[in-house]
Amino acid sequence: MSKTILITGASRGIGRAAALLAGRRGWSVGVNYVRDEAGALAVVKEIERAGGKAVALHGDVAFEADVLEMFEGAVRALGPLDGVVVNAGVVAPRAHLADMSVERMRRVFDINVLGAYVCAREAARRLSKSLGGAGGSIVLVSSAAARIGGPGEYVDYAGSKGAIDTLTLGLSKELGPEGVRVNAVRPGLIETDIHASGGEPDRAQRLGVTAPLGRPGLPDEVGEAIIWLLSDAASYTTGAILDVTGGR
């Protein structure tokens, strides 16, 4: 069945991969970005070429007004949503907690936690049956760091993803009776730009070999899990946190 979905942070990496997989299924996709407009427009073009419908939506998830505008823009362009992927996230350069500034931690928590909570809230408002929605599916993008802790690298980021796991558990129970499934994927070391943004472009390659499957993952391999959780094939799955980590 065709779906209309919104993906935060879909101009690059895991969000982009999920958007393109959705487009190949003929789904309609809201492609959110914050800086990389060209990347988002390229994703839109590729989805349209594959037969889907798409729109690029600017918005910084750390700002409530941007999130509201992004959701309104998605519905205006594509119609009512069936699914939302809360994916946008950032890391900061490798550091011990003792050396982290409040500004750094605030940015990580503003985007990864507050941003995710506000996006999930907007999804809940639009999908919940008692609020006039038709039900649907929310997929949150956590990280294996939530259970590993990120020592010596980024305990702030790891904690922000712990919050995503907890949100997934609580919100799935709140929204089950509303016809809304809420699940998370917990990626391991995936080859995207996020590692370069943390100052370590080769991090996924370097550490990926330590995973039981012996390599880092590809964005598509996480995208497939996201699409499955959004789809009707996952109709009895809610409150699940699915590791996509090569066994790490």
The pair of structure tokens assigned to 10 is 């879909």
Judged by CB under 6 A, does residue 39 bind ligand NAP? yes
* DSSP letter for each residue of 191-209: -STHHHHTT-TTHHHHHHT
Give min distance, CB of 47 to ligand NAP, in A.
15
Task: Among 204, 225, 227, 234, indicate the residue that binds ligand NAP (CB under 6 A).
Answer: 204
Task: Among 89, 133, 136, 246, indicate the residue that binds ligand NAP (CB under 6 A).
Answer: 89
Kindly give the residue spans of alpha helices, DSSP state H, lying in the chain: 13-24, 37-49, 64-78, 102-109, 115-127, 145-148, 155-175, 194-197, 203-208, 219-230
| Distant-in-sequence contacts of 72-76, Cβ < 8 A, 24+ apart | 73/30, 74/6, 74/30, 75/126
Read off the amino acid at residue 64.
Answer: E
Q: Which residue number, 128 or 161, has a Cβ lying nearer to ligand NAP?
A: 161
Q: Which residue number, 11 or 28, has a Cβ lying nearer to ligand NAP?
A: 11
Annotated active-site residue 117? The verdict is: no
Task: Among 111, 138, 184, 230, indicate the residue that binds ligand NAP (CB under 6 A).
Answer: 111
Residues at the site binding ligand NAP, with contacts judged by CB under 6 A: 8-15, 32-36, 39, 60-62, 87-90, 111, 141, 143, 187, 189-190, 192-194, 197, 204
Enzyme catalytic residues: 157
